[in-house]
Copies of this chain bind each other. A is one copy, B any other.
């Protein structure tokens, strides 16, 4: 477990057509490099889970690799809508996709339940909310002590979760720092876990005991991809490329511009391109 391999191999060995997959990251540490590798390998028919599908799912959807998206907020953070995802939902281009829509709270707790090996998450939520009527995965249970009706959603159990992290050590333990989002839960909920990291260090000696660390035996494969979160950011390494998020709004607004961008920036390059992209963003 936790073997260190090239990204191409990590993706090829762990993501299969038809898989349910989460590329997680909450604004911070979004695994762009891993998603681009999946796009290059053309692995399709995927069910994509993510709280905040943003550019990276817009790209996968625009390339026709998704058949279903499970999500709670589909936007380009701080910018606007996701135009390729809209095109798929509104116009069926390049293919129609199924959507399963939740609230953030439900999604976060569905991952949490997955990490805990439970079949469902139970919480106080969705009161008066319209999603209950359109998502049959939103059900309820009655508290056996108070009689209160609580919301229930199925646990997320991805076939594979991809995350980006700051560091791995030689043994394959992984460190996540800063805005840690739902990555620990998404990783522990999955059958297989692939992690891209900014760097591989010898060991984690001297770290504070209470940091967010995934032990090596919970990880399937690790690939070192400096800059691999770009245009998202990696706390301690480089800043968010806000301009790239703004640019995406233009790129994604046109089917041909999108195709050309994907050709130039994803299909024609490799994971090594990411290091260059963050050069001007390093602190």
- The reply on A124 being an interface residue by CB < 8 A is yes
- The reply on A283 being an interface residue by CB < 8 A is no
Partner pick for A144 among B116, B141, B146, B212, CB 8 A cutoff: B141
A169-219 CB contacts (< 8 Å) to partner B: 177-178, 180, 208-212
A98-122 CB contacts (< 8 Å) to partner B: 116-120, 122
User: Residue of B at shortest CB range from A212?
Assistant: B210
Main secondary structure of the interface of A (DSSP, over half): loop
Q: How far is the CB of A169 from chain B (nearest CB, A)?
A: 17
Partner pick for A145 among B116, B119, B146, B212, CB 8 A cutoff: B119
**Interface magnitude class on chain A:** 20 to 34
- The reply on A150 being an interface residue by CB < 8 A is yes
- The reply on A143 being an interface residue by CB < 8 A is yes
Copies of this chain assembled into the complex: 2
- The reply on A26 being an interface residue by CB < 8 A is no
Q: How far is the CB of A103 from chain B (nearest CB, A)?
A: 15
The 8 A CB mask of A123-136 against B (1 = contact, 0 = none) is 11000000000000
Quick check: B119 and A143 within 8 Å, CB to CB?
yes
Partner pick for A148 among B119, B140, B145, B209, CB 8 A cutoff: B119
- The reply on A152 being an interface residue by CB < 8 A is yes
- The reply on A3 being an interface residue by CB < 8 A is no
Quick check: B145 and A120 within 8 Å, CB to CB?
yes
User: Residue of B at shortest CB range from A109?
Assistant: B116
Quick check: A210 and B119 within 8 Å, CB to CB?
no
Binding site for B on A (CB under 8 A): 116-120, 122-124, 137, 139-146, 148, 150, 152, 154, 177-178, 180, 208-212, 235
